[in-house]
Structure 1
């Protein structure tokens, strides 16, 4: 892929966009990163607004200028675009159904709840209730991880013996509140897998750089 074919990713350290960075790293694809924590910086929101009116990350701009948003969609697209990397079950693989189920679940039932936390007024709660709302969000997230854990029978990885973008996605999103200690307690079967993903040699440098507080 030459410079004119390079991908552009709007993202930030310790955010959901790191799952996209990890997938691009596993695939060996070059990309330009435009850094900015949109939940905290107006300038970052303004930068991404040129590509995504929602002003959210991750936002991926493809070489032809087409824009992709929604982290699960981006991960599935990249995995399917490079089937030789085996980062997603093929369409005719029986594991594909559960792969799609859980990719969508992590996005909609867990990751989406973090949108509430920077501004609880988004759900009509007063700022004075922020601590209680955030606590409730964390309780719900822990419950959702527990439910997912009860439905899976992991092998070396969540869907069996091969690493997929689902493993990468969970390894990133489980780092957010209520944080890893709670995740390990709520999802003990997944915990062993995610510790393994944390140790993936191809991602070690990225994890250190993008989650420096871990």
Structure 2
């Protein structure tokens, strides 16, 4: 059977999906390409995803999945023994898991789409710096809002790692960068640091999203 194919790029939003596949020990074929800078990468992924964005996942039967949160939820649910998501009968944690997965996707991650081309929201190129600063302010506000409403254990939803932890760990590495994330989200900060240093992902992080706190 044809393996899973993932269109992605290092230090990008596809990294949370790649991290989940790594933890699940699922082999996949990676088609590398930074779609926000490479027309050829957009053209390649466009054959599967008309939005020409990553991550785009092609399942063995040819079915296409897009949207990082949806892919992560699917992978966790398809492999329940790995315990990367609250079980369906764990109703309270499951509700909060779904809530925050969608929140990170819609309230935070989606804002990064504006930054490469502020004309997407009708702003002139000469105002890019001002727009990006405003985007980063909004992202910081949204992280703070999430942090106020969570009561983490070792991880965001308790004492077990979930794909929500992977998602937040990756997205919090983007602007406005970790230093500000640590400031506005003090309860989530120890969790993402714990995922950063998870021995199961040490080699993966070094290869796909090399990162030090003082670099961000």
TM-score normalised by the shorter chain: which range applies? over 0.9
User: How large is the Cα RMSD of the aligned pairs?
Assistant: 0.7
- Tell me the equivalent position of 1:138: 136
- Given the alignment, which residue of 85, 89, 97 partners 2:86? 89
Structure 2 stretches of 5 or more lacking a match? none
Q: Which of 136, 146, 149 pairs up with 1:151? A: 149
Equivalent residue number for residue 72 of structure 1: 69
What residue is the counterpart of 1:59 in the other structure? 56
| TM-score, normalisation: structure 1 | 0.97
* 1:3-49 Cα distance to aligned partner (Å, 9 max, x none): x2410000000101000000000000000000000000000001101
Asked whether the equivalents of residues 205 and 211 of structure 2 are also in contact (C-alpha less than 8 Å), the reply is: no
Q: What is the alpha-carbon distance in structure 2 between the residues aligned to residue 204 and residue 137 of structure 1? A: 31
- SS where residue 133 of structure 1 aligns? helix
**TM-score calculated relative to the size of structure 2:** 0.96
Q: Summarize deviations over 1:90-112 as a string: whole Å, max 9, x none.
A: 11212000000000000000000
Structure 1, gaps ≥5 residues long: none
3-state DSSP of counterpart to 1:136 = helix
Give the 3 Å change call, closer, same or farther, for CA 127–173 of structure 1 in structure 2: same
Query: Which among 167, 174, 184 is matched to residue 169 of structure 1?
Result: 167
C-alpha displacement of 1:212: 2.6
Shift of 1:213: 4.9
By how many angstroms is 1:209 displaced? 1.1
Q: Where in structure 1 do 4 or more consecutive aligned residues deviate above 6 Å?
A: none
Helix, strand or coil for the counterpart of 2:76? helix
* From 180, 196, 201, the counterpart of 2:199: 201
SS in 2 for 1:175: coil
Aligned pairs, how many? 211
